[in-house]
Structure 1
């Protein structure tokens, strides 16, 4: 004994037709949608047959379907049909709904003549009782499994009468100036959307669902995926744990259609399971940079691709627009908190507020990730975790007026020998904190390693901008600030070059 097929869900080898087939058993059946759905989920089988029978078919069409298919077989392949053998009976009790024609105006917002409503329903296959319009009952065709109540009948009448006839009616509102209703989160997302578009990015809107393999590739180890038991499609089965898979799929589609590059961003939600078993939705901004950053030209030479520094610059720019304290952020390499195995370990990092609060991850995607998504070109990516960005303290409705300083700023240059592994950003932050009252800006303008620099070290040259307050700096004050700068660099292993 062996399994011949799973009725209503999946056929088998023995139920197929081959070149040697001479006898065909034609089964025209009505399957219980509830049983088909339960069996399909239990066996983990998804097929066109399951989707069709799970949603319900027309029980009245069984005989017509049998005649139609039998005729096609005889016409195309020949043969002689036998007598019809019947087993069981399909549902024959039609659903009857009490319907008030006045509901069309109350629910649908359009006044349709009662006689016109009756004609519309009858043309759609519904049977209207003789008590119309005072006490009408409407009998639904067996094929209309979607009709549940009177509101569904209103929808049928309105869509045939014409949705364009439904008048636009404003909602009631109180007198005076309306109070702002946008939440801080909505304001944040609106501002980021404008900032991203102003940076040259194109907004994409992708599905919140992904193929299961794509979601698993970006899944977090300690976070279980939300997987649908009855998805619309196998390509939309798992809820996304990251915005990057959907953007990668869109990028691949653009490249297949000849696009030279893609600069896509999306603001949406990532979905996880909370400890209490409920959904944990986290607002996120995702960015994918693919293809040519600058095209080839007589002035620029060969076309240039995006790199990890482009991703970092975008991450910092958008975090600044979101109100994050970018001056206090730490650039930290791969560890247990990120950026994750989906990124190239030598060309990616995270931006953190403290050692454990990750605000963003950026860098080049790992070759294994590109291969999994069938992408042939390097891709830089960014994810900003909007729920981790701290709220602004004492945020006023309007910015204070700008008052330019009365005295001219002073700049001083310093060159330090530092360990080769020291990040330039760490030196900048350390020097900037040496004297917060006087130092307004610090930037790196030169990096050198080679002749004259000890092995295992590099030379970092920085420009420090000092802004005097009520009086110009005196030599002694400038000397004291310089000593603080040197001391700050020394804490990181830096030594002032002679």
Structure 2
């Protein structure tokens, strides 16, 4: 935001700052000054000239030959290409020898020249050629009262422009009034004079159909105005901060916005049907805004309409058809209070950003609406003429901000200061706060309407720190911090999981939780839509981490990185069933944390000594198993076939004394249709695991069992299994048959067609047994084998083929 020092002096007449000290004062109070610009005045040889005659160039259609009086003995002949040059104008003339420096820093000297055969003894200048702005639409037109031949610099005020970075929580300083209030305090200000009239509530001019988006609206009808060029002082004010002058009416509305922080809009009353405006939010149509662009209005956007059509997007931009032009004689001046979220939504959806929307989005001062309108009316009557025919208001201003309590002892404890209570009160009263009462050790402050950001005690403490000056608060000599002796799980389980995945050679990625609806619906129909999406591509919350992960994979493949091992730990969101009895604001929504990791490309880096092999589903299965092993869950887990492309990850768990199986996640080979949707041309394998299940089952405690001092005995058994029985069920049956069975593993599977057309499946299992108290004897081994065989036959219908 650009602030003019000369403009600040309108609010603080005695203000004559040391710029370096002012920059420090503002910066240490939380308003960082990013740049200081002090425009250089034109060369002394650039003088005020009077155009005495203008003739067309005999050999060039776009050039004109001008005779210009510059106060010397004879007028100068100057060839000019500006379309707006005319006889009788006062213009800036760079005489021979003048050195000009443009706004871009380019410097050149004016010399005698010949243009298409005509001699030229100087240059009639535009604003940008003098370094006085970026306007190159035509030559500068000077005030007719300025003396011919006198240096232009003698009529120009030297100004300094500060470029201040304003944080989103400080809309009160988005104006010269706001900055002046920070510098001089509420009592040191001189405010502009306002016109004297009252608003009525007749309802003949204004109607509000959407009070939620527009709580308060004022309109003033002024007839017989004269729309013309603005006086030089007004143009200088605006152009000094980079705002181009339009005409006197429009310039006054821009002046009020930058002076007082209240956006205004002036309509051509003759273009308002029935001379009446209505604030509505049910319009869905195409609309041409004042910058000549066509936008599509949607229901829910607050719009200013007449009795037939929209005439402005509320708080954002006016319409082209109803804008003020040179033919305008009657105007309707709007000053309103619009809801910040409604304006923000309209601006984002329409792709429009204006000085007006910038302020409404952050929150304007409701107490400033009527005053700003009256100041603008006084300026219009002074500069444009006319008379006020009607002034009307509708709706009501929002309630004053609630009082906030400040405990001085608490403020000093937080800041590490010893600021006196009286000084805190004085500092806060200086910028508009007022002590309303006391409650024990707390001081109750009334919050001014322009401080929409102050809601609780910590906000007042921040104000105290800011006004004291951050550079005046001593840094602590000794910082005391406490750290836990040891991290406990699952409190830090996601961090532990990250370290495990990094140890397994996966790289972490971070993706946006918002995505397109089309991408999200590839994985779930239970999408949670954003109420106010910042763009079309970020309209729903992710129901899964996989879509964004696949986009990362596609991006890397397009850039030549095909061998990828990525993981992400983040939350996914889905809509769920509503509980009618619940008062939880998140009722009907589900939010869970997941671990997702992907594999694609080659199994190992390219090497001359071995051929490149691509990863497959078994590499992904091995990655999942390694993760489970690191979490001490492998012996409790199993990977089971879920469908043709997916394995389920299941963990055995004891719910109290009742055994159960928890579904931890899935391991999937991405289908071709999914790969095509993300423009991926190679196989991709991914796993998605629910962190809740991993945390629930994970135990940091590792039980140690010393190796047996006695030999391990191994026996191999071959079973014929019914087709409906899984191999996992057989292994589970074998393992629980006796405590001495240390492990059971499949080492062979054989299938063959039988004579009756059925398929016979043989599974060979190796069983390891050990007795921690002594060497196993043959009769003990035989009894264990008999129990295994008996359990397999009785529970599963398996037939033993060989013992």
- TM-score band by shorter chain is 0.5 to 0.7
Contact conserved, 1:99 with 1:150, CA < 8 A, in 2? yes
Residue aligning to 1:337: none
Distance 1:88 1:299 in 2: 87
- 1:212 and 2:502 matched: no
Query: 1:37 offset after TM fit, Å?
Result: 1.0
Residue aligning to 1:474: 777
Residue aligning to 1:253: 555
Residue in structure 2 matching 1:15, options 288, 294, 299: 288
Q: 1:221-272: per-residue Cα shift (whole Å, max 9, x none)?
A: 6xx5443312444444433333323333333333333322332223333334
Q: 1:132-165: per-residue Cα shift (whole Å, max 9, x none)?
A: xxxxx999997x8657689668758978957998
Partner secondary structure for residue 349 of structure 2: coil
- 1:193 and 2:466 matched: no
Query: 1:168 offset after TM fit, Å?
Result: 8.1
Residue in structure 1 matching 2:669, options 357, 364, 374: 364
Contact conserved, 1:202 with 1:265, CA < 8 A, in 2? yes
Query: 1:407 offset after TM fit, Å?
Result: 0.4
Distance 2:746 2:774 in 1: 28
Partner secondary structure for residue 304 of structure 1: coil
Contact conserved, 1:239 with 1:271, CA < 8 A, in 2? yes
Q: 1:295-351: per-residue Cα shift (whole Å, max 9, x none)?
A: 44444423312x333333333333344444x445454443xxxxxxxxxx4121212
Residue aligning to 2:564: 262
Task: Give the 3 Å change call, closer, same or farther, for CA 465–36 of structure 1 in structure 2.
Answer: closer
Residue aligning to 1:315: 624
Contact conserved, 1:36 with 1:54, CA < 8 A, in 2? yes
Task: Give the 3 Å change call, closer, same or farther, for CA 415–171 of structure 1 in structure 2.
Answer: same
Distance 1:251 1:351 in 2: 23
RMSD over equivalenced CA pairs, Å? 5.7
Partner secondary structure for residue 357 of structure 1: strand
- 1:285 and 2:587 matched: no
Q: How does 1:367-382 map to 2 (within 5 A)?
A: 367-382=672-687
Task: Give the 3 Å change call, closer, same or farther, for CA 99–226 of structure 1 in structure 2.
Answer: same
Partner secondary structure for residue 371 of structure 1: helix
Distance 1:331 1:226 in 2: 31
Residue in structure 1 matching 2:532, options 227, 230, 239: 230
Contact conserved, 1:296 with 1:304, CA < 8 A, in 2? no
- 1:413 and 2:686 matched: no
Partner secondary structure for residue 496 of structure 2: helix
Contact conserved, 1:9 with 1:47, CA < 8 A, in 2? no
Contact conserved, 1:8 with 1:31, CA < 8 A, in 2? no
Distance 2:610 2:770 in 1: 38
Task: Give the 3 Å change call, closer, same or farther, for CA 302–39 of structure 1 in structure 2.
Answer: closer
Contact conserved, 1:227 with 1:238, CA < 8 A, in 2? yes
Residue in structure 2 matching 1:430, options 711, 723, 733: 733
Partner secondary structure for residue 352 of structure 2: helix
Q: 1:401-446: per-residue Cα shift (whole Å, max 9, x none)?
A: 542211011222234444567544333323222x331211122233
Distance 1:234 1:299 in 2: 50
Contact conserved, 1:288 with 1:379, CA < 8 A, in 2? yes
Task: Give the 3 Å change call, closer, same or farther, for CA 213–475 of structure 1 in structure 2.
Answer: same
Task: Give the 3 Å change call, closer, same or farther, for CA 252–149 of structure 1 in structure 2.
Answer: same
Higher Cα Rg: structure 1 or 2? 2
Name the TM-score, length of structure 2 as normaliser: 0.44
Distance 2:789 2:498 in 1: 41
Equivalent pairs, count: 446
Residue aligning to 1:348: 646
Q: Which has the higher strand share?
A: 2
Q: 1:94-148: per-residue Cα shift (whole Å, max 9, x none)?
A: x9x9999x89866555899xxxx9xxx9xxxx9789xxxxxxx999997x86576
Task: Give the 3 Å change call, closer, same or farther, for CA 428–253 of structure 1 in structure 2.
Answer: same
Residue aligning to 1:241: 543
Partner secondary structure for residue 293 of structure 1: coil
Residue aligning to 1:77: none
Task: Give the 3 Å change call, closer, same or farther, for CA 104–213 of structure 1 in structure 2.
Answer: farther
Residue in structure 2 matching 1:462, options 735, 741, 765: 765
Residue aligning to 2:611: 301
Residue in structure 1 matching 2:689, options 381, 384, 395: 384
Task: Give the 3 Å change call, closer, same or farther, for CA 292–105 of structure 1 in structure 2.
Answer: farther
Residue in structure 2 matching 1:439, options 720, 730, 741: 741
Name the TM-score, length of structure 1 as normaliser: 0.65
Query: 1:49 offset after TM fit, Å?
Result: 3.0
